[in-house]
Structure 1
Amino acid sequence: MASVWVGNRGTIRDYPSFNASRDAEAIRKAIRGIGTDEKTLIDILTERSNAQRQLIAKEYLAASGKDLKDDLKSDLSGNLERVMVALVTPPAVFDAKQLKKSMKGTGTNENALIEILASRNSKQMKEVSQAYYKIYKKSLGDDISSETSGDFRKALLTLADGRRDDSLKVDEHLAKKDAQILYDAGEKRWGTDEDKFTDILCFRSIPQLKLTFDEYRNISKKNIEDSILSEVSGHFEDLLLAIVKCVNSTPAFLAERLHQSLKGAGTDEFTMNRIMVSRSEIDLLDIRAEYKKHYGCSLYSAIKSDTSGDYETMLLKICGGDD
């Protein structure tokens, strides 16, 4: 069964001569020895696909009676531990946990919510919602409802439900119609009809929206982004802009997020770790290309100048090379 979490533009692929029990044994030695052998852990975990890491975890449990995730947690610390644990977590579970983290405690991390929900497709979101319910015994929708409000909440709930059309077929007539509806709901009227924006931007397929945005430019002589900026505000605006960016290019959107996480004082590791791990088997090669194109330096060199130690080594191996 093809996984919805594996694309053909990842930096990490299945390891050719894979042997789960051999890897599990090597990891056990690396953890059990005097002082942890981080190099072995990094080499094995960054050179195996997520599906292979799940098999290693199974073998590890069978051989030691211990959960690999727990042993990594008790043996490592800080960002190195967080990335290692993320790597041995199934992708849907990882997303579910990231969503929970962004809603936990005081204040919600809207940026993380927006980034995950805007960049995942329907099939992925369905798996994330199932994983979320399994872990927290609460639906993702309920938690989003209690942490957000208004139009922002409504749009997030639509995305969390995985109701975006996944088909690749486009309908020109519909694109013209939708573009007109968006124009009438925003630019043309006094006050904005937010529901129309949510309905079209959260339900239509990505190729369909590309065409709609072209039509929108024809009708209004403006980019849809400019209209969103002038028509809506707050987190709802941030979410709609993120959706538009993902329609244009998800890798470019995520490259921008990585750039923001590396910019300024201190690194935003929460964002950095999430994007590097969650896209490592999907489109990290494209994200790297977009990074280089927009910011004039490679993602590899940006990570190098912003991180250090084993954490840096680990991220660079996931990054998979310099551009």
Structure 2
Amino acid sequence: MAAIGSRGTVTEAAGFNAEQDAQKLRNAMKGAGTDEVAIIDVLAHRTIAQRQLIKHAFKTSVGKDLIDEVKSELTGNFEKVVVGLLMTAPVYDAYELHHAIKGAGTDEACLIEILASRDNQEIKEIIATYKKEYGKSLEDDIISDTSGMFQRVLVSLLTAGRDESTKVDNVLAVQDAKDLYQAGEARWGTDEVKFLTVLCVRNKQHLLKVFEEYHKIAGRDVEDSIKREMSGTLEDVFLAIVRSIKSKPGFFAERLYKSMKGLGTTDSILIRVMVSRAEIDMLDIKAQFLKMYGKTLFSFIKGDTSGDYGKILLQLCGGQ
């Protein structure tokens, strides 16, 4: 169920009836051909909690798992969006992380995006769900698939040990800023552990003060220093943490923009962000997108996608 005060584009459907929705989905998928419009009309306008009730009603009345039916009837990116919508948030995050790790190569961008932007409770739920769904430890899988300081940052984030109070210690904030400067700009080489300790442990309000103090000391933004001092996935993960702390909607707006600009579309990122944030803060992401790029998210998606895949994403975007 959407949180009270939610800034999502997907909200509870009035007059909701799980049995009726389950029947609509069954009718949309039985026989020759599939009624994709009916699927969009139901699933893009129901909350995660409501979709779980639909899944239960579908299994009760049809004797089949709704996700299995979707996978047998749909294909491509449209299938990926619909499958994602039918999962709870921790199941979807665990599913995405599992796919990022398994097989040839690792999707480090997915690991970074999820682990750098979820709060302690969300991370704990993801870890428990991963174990339940895949019979493995998420930490063990990440350790076996990553290395070096990048691995250590991810493991730190997985401890769900960030201070989540709102307390700002001004003296400590100045010291943290000095420590970051001394660990990077002021020395030959970089003490990445100091960046990990500050960026993965301190609370949001305190870190915003640290960033402010850092700018006074270094004469530049902490993001600029990270770019100067680091490279590769380590740079990416520290930048993701800083940007997520500064503005989570801004962080996701940038992810969406980069997934669509230039040649081709990184559909995996576009799908994951649209599905995972639709019920949480999509209204704020849209506002940030317009502010940052001078165009609406709706217009970007419309110009970059097509068919039923594009239609369902536009519904999740919640109009212009």
Match of residue 302, structure 2, among 279, 301, 304: 304
* Structure 1 partner of 2:172: 174
TM-score where L is the length of structure 2: 0.96
* Structure 2 partner of 1:217: 215
CA distance change for structure 1 residues 260 and 7 in 2, over 3 Å: closer, same or farther? farther
Aligned counterparts, 1:1-323, within 5 A: 8-322=6-320
TM-score where L is the length of structure 1: 0.95
**What is the rounded CA distance, in whole Å, between the counterparts of 1:11 and 1:320 in structure 2?**
5
Amino acid at match of 2:156: T
Specify the SS of the correspondent of 1:246.
helix
> Which digits, 9 at most, give the CA deviation of each residue in 1:254-304, with x for residues without a partner?
111111111122211100100000000111111111111122211111111
Deviation at 1:7, TM superposition (A): 6.1
Deviates more, 1:125-134 or 1:103-112: 103-112
Deviation at 1:131, TM superposition (A): 0.8
Assess if the C-alpha contact under 8 Å between 1:7 and 1:281 holds in 2. Answer: no
Amino acid at match of 1:257: R
**What is the rounded CA distance, in whole Å, between the counterparts of 2:300 and 2:125 in structure 1?**
32
Specify the SS of the correspondent of 1:202.
helix
Deviation at 1:78, TM superposition (A): 0.7
CA distance change for structure 1 residues 27 and 207 in 2, over 3 Å: closer, same or farther? same
**What is the rounded CA distance, in whole Å, between the counterparts of 2:254 and 2:98 in structure 1?**
23
Deviation at 1:6, TM superposition (A): 7.5
**What is the rounded CA distance, in whole Å, between the counterparts of 1:6 and 1:179 in structure 2?**
35
CA distance change for structure 1 residues 232 and 7 in 2, over 3 Å: closer, same or farther? farther
Deviation at 1:67, TM superposition (A): 0.3
Specify the SS of the correspondent of 2:247.
helix
Deviation at 1:149, TM superposition (A): 0.8
> Which digits, 9 at most, give the CA deviation of each residue in 1:118-145, with x for residues without a partner?
1111111111111111111111111110
CA distance change for structure 1 residues 220 and 265 in 2, over 3 Å: closer, same or farther? closer
Query: Unpaired runs of 5+ in structure 2?
Result: none
Root-mean-square deviation (CA), in Å?
Answer: 1.5
**What is the rounded CA distance, in whole Å, between the counterparts of 1:306 and 1:191 in structure 2?**
42
**What is the rounded CA distance, in whole Å, between the counterparts of 1:301 and 1:108 in structure 2?**
31
Question: What is the aligned residue count?
Answer: 320
Amino acid at match of 2:167: K
**What is the rounded CA distance, in whole Å, between the counterparts of 1:213 and 1:182 in structure 2?**
10
Deviates more, 1:7-16 or 1:152-161: 7-16
CA distance change for structure 1 residues 6 and 149 in 2, over 3 Å: closer, same or farther? farther
**What is the rounded CA distance, in whole Å, between the counterparts of 2:172 and 2:17 in structure 1?**
51
Assess if the C-alpha contact under 8 Å between 1:292 and 1:299 holds in 2. Answer: yes
Assess if the C-alpha contact under 8 Å between 1:95 and 1:116 holds in 2. Answer: yes
**What is the rounded CA distance, in whole Å, between the counterparts of 1:172 and 1:33 in structure 2?**
66
